[in-house]
């Protein structure tokens, strides 16, 4: 990257559930005038479509056969990110327990991943000022040439406490178990698993406040832009 020039900067933020990817990515993008893409919402959206269309989620062949059918549109304004399926706003519908419990199975199907990855790359290419893209495989697979790659981590306890706080005080132990199960599925799948890119900066957020994580990533982006 040229020194100081405000080139379109591509930032990849990966990590397991509850590490602060979405909150950090939105805030960094908003602060730096970048676009924002929640790739988890895209996988949740196609899962919602599969479930509501009556596709057998236990049957990867059935999922693969219709992976190209739903039209999934993501809005990339960090202050108002949106997600729709065939024109229907699904921002709330994709956050249900039913979708959360099935998204890993749908996300493991190669035809689903290749279709969604294509969407992600075209959105990143279209972001004139640059973009913060958050997910599981952005730095390793989707945008391997990203200017900055960050991999967020946190203890299972911290992540479960944060997630259950979000889920209006859901049982922390049950939340922790569900997170660990989903992390294992996302990390062990054959096609573009959850993994830290070799050139990613790892940030353990367990003992950090959200503000501290945001400040850390903003500094990393600014250092990249300054050519450090
Ligand atoms: N470092 C942190 N300290 C405390 N709470 C956090 C921190 N990072 C995120 N949170 C909170 O935890 C919850 C999950 O954060 P989120 O950004 O959705 O994580 P992810 O996208 O990695 O699943 C949100 O309520 C968020 O405000
Ligand atoms: N780039 C991505 C993003 C999400 N996924 C899958 C795996 C995740 O369990 C689900 C949901 O992701 P999401 O980021 O919404 O989940 P969390 O908010 O981290 O709990 O989607 C993926 O396979 N690849």
Domain locations in the chain?
A: 8-218
Q: In this model, does residue 3 exceed pLDDT 50? A: no
ipTM: 0.98
The torsion angle over the Cα atoms of residues 93, 196, 145 and 133, rounded to 10 degrees, is: 20
d(CA 180, CA 73): 29
136 C-alpha to ligand 2 centroid (Å): 6
Pocket lining for ligand 1, CB < 6 angstroms: 15, 17-23, 162-163, 165-166, 205, 208-210, 213
Quick one: which atom of ligand 1 is closest to the CA of 26?
17
CATH of span 8-218: 3.40.50.300
CA atoms within 13 Å, Cβ hemisphere of 99 = 20
pLDDT for res 166: 85
d(CA 218, CA 29): 9
Instruction: Write out pLDDT tens, residues 73-99.
Output: 999 999 999 999 999 999 999 999 999
pLDDT for res 37: 98
Per-residue pLDDT band for 104 (boundaries 50, 70, 90) equals very high
- Residue 20 labeled ligand binder: yes
26 C-alpha to ligand 1 centroid (Å): 11
- Residue 40 labeled ligand binder: no
Question: Which two tokens mark 114?
Answer: 């290749």
Mean pLDDT of the chain: 95
The reported pTM is 0.96
Q: Annotate 35-57 with DSSP letters as a single string.
A: EEEEHHHHHHHHHHHHHHTT--T
The one-character DSSP state at 108 is T
d(CA 157, CA 216): 22
List strands edge to edge, sheet with 72-75.
72-75, 82-85, 88-89
Instruction: Write out pLDDT tens, residues 188-212.
Output: 999 999 999 999 999 999 999 999 9
């Amino acid at each position: 990257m040229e020194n100081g020039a405000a080139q379109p900067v591509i930032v990849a933020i990966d990590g397991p559930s509850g590490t602060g990817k979405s909150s950090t990515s939105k805030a960094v993008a908003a602060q730096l005038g970048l676009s924002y893409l929640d790739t988890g919402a895209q996988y949740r959206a196609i899962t919602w479509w599969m479930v509501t269309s009556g596709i057998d989620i236990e049957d990867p062949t059935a999922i693969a056969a219709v992976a190209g059918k739903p039209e999934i549109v993501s809005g990339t304004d960090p202050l108002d990110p949106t997600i729709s399926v065939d024109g229907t706003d699904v921002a709330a519908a994709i956050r249900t327990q039913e979708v959360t419990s099935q998204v890993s199975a749908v996300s493991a199907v190669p035809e689903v991943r290749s279709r969604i990855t294509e969407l992600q790359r075209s959105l990143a290419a279209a972001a004139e000022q640059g973009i913060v893209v958050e997910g599981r495989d952005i730095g390793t697979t989707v945008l391997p040439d990203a200017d900055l790659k960050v991999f967020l981590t946190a203890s299972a306890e911290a992540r479960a406490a944060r997630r259950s706080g979000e889920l209006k005080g859901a049982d922390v132990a049950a939340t922790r178990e569900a997170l660990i199960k989903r992390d294992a599925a996302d990390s062990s799948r054959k096609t573009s698993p959850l993994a830290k890119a070799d050139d990613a900066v790892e940030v353990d957020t367990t003992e950090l406040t959200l503000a501290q994580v945001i400040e850390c990533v903003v500094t990393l982006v600014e250092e990249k832009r300054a050519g450090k």
